[in-house]
Amino acid sequence: MKRNLDLVREILLWMEAQPEGQNVAWKIQIDGFTDEEIGYHAYLMHQAGLIIATDATFLESHSPHWIPTMLTWQGHEFLSAAKDDTVWAKAKKDVIKPALGATYTVILEWLKAEAKARLGLP
């Protein structure tokens, strides 16, 4: 399964919108994505330090299935940089697509630089 940064962003947006500060329902649904895709991306995001997630993988699972439970500081930071739809669309057009799947670190650095430029900071 390929990493999908749009799904990563959608999971972060969904988690931030939870009023309790954590996923108390233990269920996450995002239109256009399967439970397997969400579970696998939660696993990747946990590895990257964006979220804290719980392993719900069982023997019959076809892929890692993790359940997002809460955002980390790093997850909030990434989401702050990627939240604006216009900035995210520009990142996808200028960084992600030309680089054929730029690394998370490259995208984060670009988002930070874009935020600084919008604020008029050096």
Name the residue with tokens 């359940």. 67
In this prediction, residue 99 carries a pLDDT of 55
In a shared domain, residues 53 and 103: no
Is the residue at 111 inside a domain? yes
Q: Which residues contact 35 (CB under 8 A, 6 or more apart)?
A: 65
Both 50 and 99 in a single domain? no
- pLDDT-wise least confident of 20-24, 25-29, 95-99, 117-121: 95-99
User: What type of residue is 30?
Assistant: I
Structural domain including 38 reads: 5-71
User: In this predicted structure, what is the pLDDT of residue 102?
Assistant: 63
